[in-house]
Structure 1
């Protein structure tokens, strides 16, 4: 389904991604972990063609993505939806319009200028918002929503693209534990119900173990671990993060159970 072969990216003398090989045979939910600067974001941006690789190839369902140019490249970026840590919404625009921006790649310039959308697209946008549990927020400005709600709007916008692959770059890094859980539940449900390949860059081990079918660990631009979540032991995590014996997973946990009750109530109020 997806094959990444000897993929590298260099910025001057710095190698951000170093000859990465990854093969995915069927739709999975894959988590990529590693410390800051490990090359996780650069890898996803190359798959989406936001960043051009220095060498290597990316093939998806038999099509060589690295060879695409112009309209074909834009068509790929519609099929390969990207979700970012910063939600990239238009703050003063209503939620439905933000979701409908997922159709911009297939709309005319005139329709875009006058903000004209077919009824079927509007209905589909509302259906997706209902699916994500935020349909009642549809008429509100995006800036009025909590962080978790805004990220679900960003996910809805991605689904409007009718993608075959969803890439999520640290989708819960700026969220509290309650909202983080809701967002990850949403991504997992989309993977299962829509049979989509979902690849997430994550910064916490417990999240990767809980939600992902497969975990890839990166260090200094290279893949140093690729396996099932159960194989992601503390010893393996130390190797991925280049940490010593004092490494503690508890410091990276997003589990709601680790919070005190006042913190849980504060998180629930923001959902």
Structure 2
């Protein structure tokens, strides 16, 4: 279905992604892990064609995605929707209008300028918001919502594009544990219920294990691990992150259960 073949991206003398190869044969949920600067975000941006490739190819259902231009490239970007860490919403616009912006590439310039949308699209946007548990916030300004709610609005906007692939670049990095869990559960349901492929850059191992069917580890721009969640042992994680024996998963966890367990095992003493 999706083949990434020796994908490389160089910025001057720096190689951000180095000959990355990945085959996705069927819809699944993939977590990409690795330390900051490992090339995770650049890889997703190349998949969405926000970044041009230096070498290599991306093929989806027989099409060479790296060769697409103009209208065909924009159509691919709708088919391969992107969700960002910082939400990228229009703060002063109401929630439902932000969601409807997922259809802008299908609208005329005039309707876009005057924010005119068919009633069928408005109903669909509200249905998607309802599915994500935030329909009651549809008339509010986006800036009035919490971070977790704003991220779900961003997911709803992506779903308005009716994509086959959803790329999520650190979707929970700026969220507290409770909201992180809600967002990851939403992405998992979208994969399971819609049969869409979800590829998410994640910064915690327990999150990747809990929600993903497959985990890919990147280090210095290269894919150094590609396997099942249960194969992601602490030893493998040390290799991916280039960490020593003192590497602790709990220290970087966003999973509520892990945090509670760590807190119980190492209670903070009150100052005298």
Partner residue in 2 for 1:8: 8
The residue correspondences of 1:40-55 to structure 2 (distance < 5 A) are 40-55=40-55
| Structure 1 residue ranges without an equivalent (≥5) | 264-271
Instruction: Give me the whole-angstrom Cα distance separating, in 1, the residues matched to 2:175 and 2:183.
Output: 9
2:249 is the alignment partner of 1:240: no
The residue correspondences of 1:43-122 to structure 2 (distance < 5 A) are 43-122=43-122
Secondary structure of 1:175's counterpart equals coil
Secondary structure of 2:6's counterpart equals strand
Q: CA deviation at 1:257?
A: 2.7
The residue correspondences of 1:84-163 to structure 2 (distance < 5 A) are 84-163=84-163
Partner residue in 1 for 2:205: 205
Instruction: Give me the whole-angstrom Cα distance separating, in 2, the residues matched to 1:243 and 1:258.
Output: 20
| Structure 2 residue ranges without an equivalent (≥5) | 264-272
Q: CA deviation at 1:222?
A: 0.2
Q: CA deviation at 1:49?
A: 0.2
The residue correspondences of 1:151-230 to structure 2 (distance < 5 A) are 151-230=151-230
Partner residue in 1 for 2:266: none
Calculate the TM-score normalised by the size of structure 1: 0.95
Instruction: Give me the whole-angstrom Cα distance separating, in 1, the residues matched to 2:41 and 2:146.
Output: 24
Partner residue in 2 for 1:25: 25
Q: CA deviation at 1:252?
A: 1.2
**4+ residue segments displaced more than 6 Å:** none
Instruction: Give me the whole-angstrom Cα distance separating, in 2, the residues matched to 1:147 and 1:248.
Output: 27
Aligned length: 261
Instruction: Give me the whole-angstrom Cα distance separating, in 1, the residues matched to 2:27 and 2:62.
Output: 15
Q: CA deviation at 1:259?
A: 4.6
Task: Name the Cα RMSD after superposition.
Answer: 1.0
Instruction: Give me the whole-angstrom Cα distance separating, in 2, the residues matched to 1:125 and 1:184.
Output: 20
Secondary structure of 1:207's counterpart equals helix
Q: After superposition, what is the alpha-carbon deviation per residue over 1:19-55, rounded to whole angstroms, capped at 9, x for unaligned? A: 0000000000000000000000000000000000100
Calculate the TM-score normalised by the size of structure 2: 0.95
